[in-house]
Amino acid sequence: MAMLDKPINELNLVPFVSVDDMMKIILEIGVENVLVGLCEYLEEDFRRWDLFDKTPRIASHSNEGVIELMPTSDGHDYGFKYVNGHPKNTKDGLQTVTAFGVLADVDTGYPVMLTEMTILTALRTAATSAMAAKYLMPKGSKTMAMIGNGAQSEFQALAFKAICGITDLRLYDIDSSATDRCIKNLSNSGLKMVKCDSEQSAVEGAEIITTVTADKQYATILTDNMVGAGVHINAIGGDCPGKTELHKDILLRSDIFVEYTPQTRIEGEIQQLDDDYPVKELWQVMTGEVEGRTNDKQITLFDSVGFAIEDFSALRYIRDQLQKTGHFTNLDMLADPDDPRDLYGMILRAEKNLS
């Protein structure tokens, strides 16, 4: 555990949050408390959306997956995330998604934190889903169906419990062992869980439907006949070109909300629709610029692909926990010559010290 006598950004060392550190931070604060805290930071940043640099993520696609960079800045801080998505990895005992991120000071360009973001991305994705549902789900929703019970499922369940008040969970995965694992992991959560034998049975009686599958392909996880009036759909599995989960007819019956339209048109469910098909951005709902849910019969759809501002919010949140928890390691990442113009002199001095 590292402790600081002065603020992190006044040091020449860069705090590094390892996987072990991240788990210690989460356990010290509590998973649900972290999710609530992330939601607060996300709401703050979504409400000041206009301040941010916004660009679709920079993606390098292959037959097996994608590697992406996700940058943004609010003019004070700069953040980026490196992340991959390789669905085949699970067959080899590897994570589908891995990530790390950097937060930097805009005035100096110096990094102020380097952190793992594999676990943090799962947390921020779940917090973003629940934040959107706060504004879009039917009032008083208590039951959520979750189709796809992989690595994201427990985080989604706990976020909807902590932020939206969900009490009942209906679970389905084509791999029944994934559902069993999810139920076991959430056995002390207080959620009432039902293992279902099909997508159709999972959505019965659910006010919220979450789809979170991993295969990189056009798929139809939900068909039009499965979706009744008045539900909220949290579609988070379709997140790259050529990968979807919902039948097109569901989209045509829904009011669609997205993070950043130019990116979602490339990667989200709406890649199935014409480029001028009308959608609303979530920040507009949160600031009152547009309406979210307007009636009991309306189908709302959060077509989420993940956006850099969400990672920025997560980076800010973790940075603000470092002084409180001390779970990080200082890295000697920044060259600090006696004379800023004499970088080579550092090498000469190091040579003398070694001789």
* Residue 92 a catalytic site member: no
- Single out the catalytic residue among 173, 239, 303, 311: 239
Write out 85-125 in H/E/C secondary structure: ECHHHHHHCCCCCCEEEEEEECCCCCEEEEEECHHHHHHHH
CB-CB contact of 121 with 33 (8 Å): no
Angle subtended at Cα 92 by Cα 87 and Cα 95, rounded to the nearest 5 degrees: 50
Give 101-104's long-range contacts (Cβ < 8 A, gap of 24+): 101/311, 101/314, 101/315, 102/315, 103/77, 103/78, 103/79, 103/312, 103/315, 103/316, 103/319, 104/77, 104/78, 104/79
Write out 164-223 in H/E/C secondary structure: HCCCEEEEECCCHHHHHHHHHHCCCCCCEEEECCCHHHHHCCCCEEEECCCCCCEEEEEC
Residues 300, 178: Cα–Cα separation, whole Å: 28
Q: Is the dihedral of CA 322, 164, 270, 48 positive or negative?
A: negative
Residues annotated as catalytic (active site), given as ranges: 239
